[in-house]
Amino acid sequence: MAVFKKSFPTAKFAFSEDSLKEARNLVTQYEMDLDGEDWEEMKEEFEMNLEAGFEPFGFVMPSFLDLNEELTKEGTVESPYDFYDTYSICKLKVIYTVAKSRPEASAFAPCTTMVI
């Protein structure tokens, strides 16, 4: 905050209330047993089902990141994971509406789902 006050001495500052006042666990974990199936085929099927499952509810997936590529420095370091992907999931109408009154909400959108 000191940097902002020094850089913008005449600016007015306000902090939003903490909007994540939530007692429930906000992370859900699932596991799939592949029963000897090829994990690459199952992953591809999972991705298609994930996208198809969100679409009817107005969600889009604007971004995908192969985090394994980043963690392994593009294959120069061994990874403990076969894959480590992140999918950005966003409901544009909701985030647009929220961002009108709480512009900082854009920092939290889109949400991210990790598949390891």
Enumerate the β-bridge partners of residue 26: none
Identify whether 87 is part of a domain: yes
Identify whether 4 is part of a domain: no
Identify whether 104 is part of a domain: yes
Assess whether pLDDT exceeds 70 at residue 35: yes
Identify whether 20 is part of a domain: no
Assess whether pLDDT exceeds 80 at residue 28: no
Domain ranges, residue 102: 60-116
Identify whether 23 is part of a domain: no
Beta-carbon neighbour count of residue 50 at 10 Å? Answer: 15
Q: 41-99: per-residue pLDDT in tens?
A: 888 888 888 888 888 888 888 778 888 888 887 778 888 888 888 888 888 787 778 77
Into how many domains does the chain fold?
A: 1
60-66 and 85-90: which strand pairing? Answer: antiparallel
Split at pLDDT 50, 70, 90, the class of 27 is confident
Q: What share of the chain is helix, strand, coil (3-state, %, to 5)?
A: 40, 15, 45
pLDDT of residue 106: 66
